[in-house]
Structure 1
Amino acid sequence: MASNKQIAQSVIEALGGHENIQSVAHCATRLRVMVHDKDNVDVSSLEEVEKVKGAFYNSGQYQIIFGTGTVNNVYNEVVNLGVTGTSKSELKEDAKQQGNWFQRAIRTFGDVFVPIIPALVATGLFMGLRGLVLQEEILAWFGLTPESVPENFITLTQVLTDTAFIFLPALVAWSTFKVFGGNPTIGLVLGLMLVSPSLPNAWAVAGGDAEPMTFFGFIPVLGYQSSVLPAFIAGIVGAKLEKVVRKKVPEALDLVVTPFLVLLIMITLSLFAIGPVFHIVEQGIFEAMRFLLELPFGLSGLIIGFVNQIIVVTGVHHIFNFLEIQLLNNLGYNPFNPIITGAIAAQGGAALAVGLKTKGKKLRALSISSATSAFLGITEPAIFGVNLRYVRPFIMGLVGGGVSGFLASIMGLKATGMAITVLPGALLYLNGQLFGYFLINIVAVAVAFALTWMFGFNDNMLDKKE
């Protein structure tokens, strides 16, 4: 077995040597490398390095999958061998200049929403737990009925499940200011202003229980509880405005004048221009998504389930975060999650079939570990390390995802949250949907596994690849 130092040396050579490596960093599972010329990278040799579970080029970086723990040790050896190390945030700044404008925009979108997702995941789990404990069968164990549940308990659960979405604009504005180089605290206050209790509540307005304030006879002004796009655009404009103001204001007055002007100008713009315009845009996006999800005869699940992992390969899948937040905001549930969870499980099923069918020891170990990762909701090792290398397993995984998505749509499954899938995702279906959730995942794995076993892989393909 090769040492981590030998592995690091092999990685450097496959990447084109020291002179071709601009900088290197790592995340929890992957070594992330910026190179001067990606044509000088020997991807086949890179994938053959011991302990490498896959390698792919995305977001302006070569991302080499090692897994938790191993990646830290290999990174240290790479740096010890003279390669310039850098932080992941600095690497992101370099990577932002890579790719076309659309890829860069989606990457920035992801940078804004990824820090928010843990709070929304927790909220989704709280929703699932509330659905579980308020089921009649569960309450009966304690001699209770839904009508006899104490009001104080219901209020406590609402604090857990509603807070993140009520103040979502504050979270979005905070994160956007941070990504675009502004003061995150100013962004946070701006977002809180958008949901001020002094403004007509957005949910009350939507329900007909309140009317928006009208200015100049045609501009509606209201709160933006659980809205995303107005806060996102306001955050971008506000962060850029802050930079401009800070350059113009004397340093002695900066502490007082800059936040005063930024908040005054931005809340005016947000309530009278950005908010009304982008709220309409946001509603349009939501209605388009809802139309797709409500296609009859399970077509929505079939289409989304099939193409989901193709979109993941392109690296623009962060847009799904926004769409899922929209669904949870407007509907109170997430029909997108059960569709994509089958797509993820299916790629794991395809990789598992490769692992159990091949006689190659290294491919078997890689495939089985990659399948395990997919069953925990992370498909990158399975896709880039196994399925895409041989193409057919990836296609069979797409078919499994389509079949599973079709079944999820027909059954009408609805998650209580977002961002976790397959085995961990079961926590979002505790409100009486657990059987259906496990069924669609089993179908996804079974279809992809069977198709890959029969038509998607044999060791002749391995020989050609080797």
Structure 2
Amino acid sequence: MAKQKLLDIVDDSYLDKLMAALGGKENIQYSTHCLTRLRIVLADPEKLNEAEIKKMDGVKGTFTASGQFQIVYGTDVAKIYTKFAKKFGLSQLSKQDIKREVLKKENWFKKFLNYMSDIFIPIVPVLVSGGIILGIRNIFEANFNENYFMGFDANGDPILGWSMVGASQFINGLNAFLWIPAQACFWWLPVHICWSIFKKMGANEILGIIVGLTLLISPMLNVYEVFNSDGLGSLWIWDIVDQLEKQGKDVAFDWGFMQYPWKIAYTSQVIPAIGVGITGSYICLWITRVCPNVINQILIPTVTVLASYTLALFIIGPVGYIMGSAIGLAFQWALTNDVAKYIFAPLIGLFHAGLVITGMHHLLNAVMIQNVAQYGGDFVFMSVCAQAIGQGSAVLGWMILNRKDPKAKEVGSSAVVAAYLGVTEPALYGVNIKYLFPFIAGSIGSSISLFICVMAGVSAQAIGNGSWLGILSVQVNSKMEGVTTWGGTGYLWFAIANVLNASLSVTLAMIFGKMSVFKKFDPDYIPTAEDVKKLEAKKLAKENKKAAKTKVEKSAASI
């Protein structure tokens, strides 16, 4: 349905029908919307008529998650919500207001997932933008032919390898120009994270930015460069300091009576930044609460910044670095070990879409960033791309099966486009989970895709667009230690893996959709007379088998 037509049909009668299906105004405790969904907290879920809502024009799917009943409308949802709230006099709360109310009833694990999600959601556009920029630079710097003779350098040594930066001065200059925004997106990530945490906690956001900057500013040494110097990749921070001292670099704060030996910046580090951000925001809130008004403009910023900075350098930074390294090392082992990769690569690809449903996929942002910083590349991002392509393609298979249904075209087309652009929620909630078989088909396709990527040595330079455009973030030849990219470059094998992913997901969805075992998951399915006969025959056979077993047991007992 076209955009204008959807908004046209949302008139008073449409809204009255929607409200009635929701159980009436008194059944709505809170309401808001996100990018594509109307989100409602119901007083009594038993009064909800979900089947009636699913039949309404413009509705692309419904589901309940995080204590909220959610109706998928697409990008028109903001205008629909405004009409809905205005007509019935509902308070237009923010998504954060709703979350706060709902989380009061959730367990600690769900609260943790939501907390991590809230931290990274505002930062994701920055990461995607930075990933695309780094992807372009990746292409510029890629060595497409290692044996190509480019000439001699200033020392008279031969220059081997053909790259765009070596072949064109314009590309070389453009590559250097693009490095500045790329650094702002990734090297200065602790600033983004601390700002996001302070904002979420209701602390002073400017102080959050300052606290993040204290992890980065010179003369502290850039830990990102440390990871890429001399092959250093130790888990222990004191090994890094020892290596830097051997290189003749100043790594200590000298106070005369003692030296603090870890004068390093936590560039691109996620776990230390989260720890410092949380600690700093609590310090800021505490000092704001207890500080007299007459000196609050002096005391609040001073205590917040100095206390956070001191704790960061002495405790949180080193501990956070070790924790982040351990997580990254676990994923690296699972996807690079000669034996483990055959087990974990397909399993991670298979269950990645399940992480999206639970919201746990936001935790992988930290893992991916950490892997790139410490190991020079990342395989987890390949799984992000694979699951989006697989789930979107499975919807395409479902659309082919239901090509005579105009509603299937309306719901499916927008879901496929969104998934192919890296947003899988419309596909998952609108189609795949509802009918189950497309979800399974897409998960199998993404499992095969990640397996091929890991075997072929296709690794990511940075986080980018998590779907087809993720190819821009692929390393031509993997820079991860012990990983060799198969002939033809990483671009070729990314394309092969995901064309196969898409083809397999479409095909499996069409096959699974015709299997009777999945029909019971279809909420719109009406059994035919033949189906009823089969079900009755199956039930009778089960009852006869049970009766025969009981008879045998009685005979055995009487002997």
Same fold (TM over 0.5): yes
Deviates more, 1:264-273 or 1:352-361: 352-361
What per-residue deviation string (whole Å, max 9, x for no partner) do you get for residues 106-159 of structure 1? 21112112222222222211221122233467999x997728758765543432
Amino acid in structure 2 at the alignment position of 1:324: M
Q: Which residue of 1 aligns with 2:26?
A: 19
Which structure 2 residues correspond to residues 61-460 of structure 1 after superposition, within 5 A?
61-69=68-76, 71-82=77-88, 83-135=90-142, 146=166, 149=169, 155-203=176-224, 205-206=226-227, 207=229, 208-209=243-244, 210=249, 212-213=251-252, 220-296=262-338, 298-358=342-402, 359-429=404-474, 431=476, 433-457=490-514
Distance across 1 between alignment mates of 2:454 and 2:500: 14
- Which runs of 5 or more structure 2 residues have no equivalent in the other structure? 151-161, 230-242, 477-488, 527-559
What per-residue deviation string (whole Å, max 9, x for no partner) do you get for residues 10-39 of structure 1? 332232221111122222211121222334
Change (3 A) 1:335 1:149: farther
- Which runs of 5 or more structure 1 residues have no equivalent in the other structure? none
Change (3 A) 1:21 1:404: same
Change (3 A) 1:143 1:56: closer
Does the 8 Å CA contact 1:294/1:300 hold for their aligned counterparts? no
Q: Which residue of 1 aligns with 2:10?
A: 4
Distance across 2 between alignment mates of 1:266 and 1:340: 34
Deviates more, 1:56-65 or 1:218-227: 218-227
- In structure 2, the residue corresponding to 1:33 is in which secondary structure? strand
The total of aligned residue pairs comes to 464
What percent of counterpart residues are identical? 27
Does the 8 Å CA contact 2:28/2:40 hold for their aligned counterparts? yes
- In structure 1, the residue corresponding to 2:276 is in which secondary structure? helix
What per-residue deviation string (whole Å, max 9, x for no partner) do you get for residues 348-382 of structure 1? 22211121112433234323332232222222222
Change (3 A) 1:231 1:413: same
Deviates more, 1:190-199 or 1:421-430: 421-430
Deviates more, 1:201-210 or 1:227-236: 201-210
- In structure 2, the residue corresponding to 1:55 is in which secondary structure? strand
Change (3 A) 1:261 1:369: closer
What per-residue deviation string (whole Å, max 9, x for no partner) do you get for residues 73-107 of structure 1? 32123113313322233223323324321121121
Change (3 A) 1:21 1:419: farther
Change (3 A) 1:153 1:329: same
Does the 8 Å CA contact 2:141/2:164 hold for their aligned counterparts? no
Change (3 A) 1:430 1:203: closer
Distance across 1 between alignment mates of 2:525 and 2:85: 31
Change (3 A) 1:110 1:426: same
Larger radius of gyration between Structure 1 and Structure 2: 2
Does the 8 Å CA contact 2:394/2:441 hold for their aligned counterparts? yes
| 2:99 is the alignment partner of 1:59 | no
RMSD: 2.9
- In structure 1, the residue corresponding to 2:314 is in which secondary structure? helix
Distance across 1 between alignment mates of 2:15 and 2:297: 48
Does the 8 Å CA contact 1:205/1:211 hold for their aligned counterparts? no
Change (3 A) 1:87 1:186: same
> How far apart are 1:272 and its partner, in Å?
1.0
Distance across 2 between alignment mates of 1:127 and 1:327: 15
What per-residue deviation string (whole Å, max 9, x for no partner) do you get for residues 272-291 of structure 1? 12112222111111111212
Distance across 1 between alignment mates of 2:164 and 2:393: 42
Q: Which residue of 1 aligns with 2:551?
A: none
Deviates more, 1:336-345 or 1:93-102: 93-102
- In structure 1, the residue corresponding to 2:360 is in which secondary structure? coil
The equivalent position to 1:29 in structure 2, one of 10, 31, 36, is 36
- In structure 2, the residue corresponding to 1:317 is in which secondary structure? helix
Change (3 A) 1:148 1:180: same
Amino acid in structure 1 at the alignment position of 2:398: V
- In structure 1, the residue corresponding to 2:469 is in which secondary structure? helix
> How far apart are 1:464 and its partner, in Å?
5.4
Distance across 2 between alignment mates of 1:16 and 1:231: 45
Amino acid in structure 1 at the alignment position of 2:252: M
Change (3 A) 1:50 1:241: same
After TM superposition, the score normalised by the length of structure 1 is 0.90
- In structure 1, the residue corresponding to 2:433 is in which secondary structure? helix
After TM superposition, the score normalised by the length of structure 2 is 0.76
Change (3 A) 1:221 1:305: same
Distance across 2 between alignment mates of 1:247 and 1:338: 46
Change (3 A) 1:144 1:199: closer
